[in-house]
Structure 1
């Protein structure tokens, strides 16, 4: 078990904001025995049989994904979900959910270092390495480490509303959400040997997102051929120049929706999307909701 994700989850769902008028989460740590986490000793409050009574089950990260998750844990999580519990995994806790069959046919994520392993071991799971979390309704998964915080704040937002989630985030001195709503982006790990290839180009592009940039524009700026540029982009970012550029434009639009009262037309222009119609089409496809809905739901 990874203590970082466990502590994050407990800090968020285990601490009731003063602004909550009614009941808050009643948090219990369930397990079969005491666990030493570094210099800390974790004593469970109750056994795994209590998961059957839970409304939400949160599975923290596993310390060793090369070992099969404990069979009794897998069965307890499966049984809890079968009787209606919402099941949430943080980081590598996703391997427990996958072993229980809860992710078959669904999108899921985990720490970027383990997405390939998850995909290879559980081919029925659609693994998305480029998000902070995935919400499938009754089954939710987070990416690695601090993304556990994003998912836990998302749970609070779902259960108690954006205002309470924002209060919880301010208490933690973190943003209430990072770079979006249902489709949140993380930077694809950059291979060390390619870090220099686009080091000057990417900031140059970010300063000009309002302009109608093309692959040829980027190639000229970086003194590369278009083919060479595309190869470097795939190596460094894991995607094509145009897809990366679209992602940055959507992120810029998200930031403006969150922090300004500008019209969708003005934001479309500032993000280099041209028209509000174009922005709405790409925004809805990427984020899952229209810009106006995003602003109402996720603006801090």
Structure 2
């Protein structure tokens, strides 16, 4: 017969074991993308995707190789050293100021009244140059973000969606997205892109193939199925898993519901953002013992953006979580 002390010890041991098991297998987001919002959506990278029944709202992109200040992703920012004439103009201003303070400078060699007048002229010239520079920078950097021409966000039927506040065709999204086309630069020319049954089939196939390639740590397959940027993010996750001594396995991926958020083209690229709700078995295993150390949610709702060029298949270019 068990004594009360023995029963208390056994109960405490069982509770400790249950707590240990709970800590050992927490519910986390370990699938490709790490449960974050990463990648690029062309000129709409920092704009909120259109709402759909599957995903009424999306979390903003957290990591992207697209610079919010660029007029388009392919444009390189000007080198900081070239602003306002570069080092030559800076040296010229420095020399003028120094000369003014010492009484020499631009009009050195003059004496008496001429030297004093030269000093006044130099100071006035420097003030004018500084004032001109301030106005120039304000015109360049302080221009309202709405100076960029708005563009239409197309549906399958070729119509346009209203942006925030009900303005048709207005560029929506975060302030970073609005600043993307600031400074009077026009956004890339965009056009409607029709998405058909074959495209939806390709999106569903990519959903499963990318999850499978990630589970098998097949970096070659990931580079073929995603943009170099997304393949780079996947590789970072795989390296982090290896450093922890774990491997993420995603199996039984089944699309439950999906709908098109928006589709458009710019340059040679065609984009499609699709909201997808899918079920999956998501577990993280210890590499050596194959013991389950983490368990993911049985269902996920994400927006995946795909891109392609003429004659080439769709590939993944961004993943966004819902809010």
TM class by shorter chain equals under 0.3
Which structure carries more helix by proportion?
Answer: 1
TM-score, length of structure 2 as denominator length: 0.20
Which of these two proteins has the greater Rg computed from alpha carbons?
Answer: 2
Which structure carries more strand by proportion?
Answer: 2
**Structure with higher RCO (Cα < 8 A, 6+ apart):** 2
TM-score, length of structure 1 as denominator length: 0.21
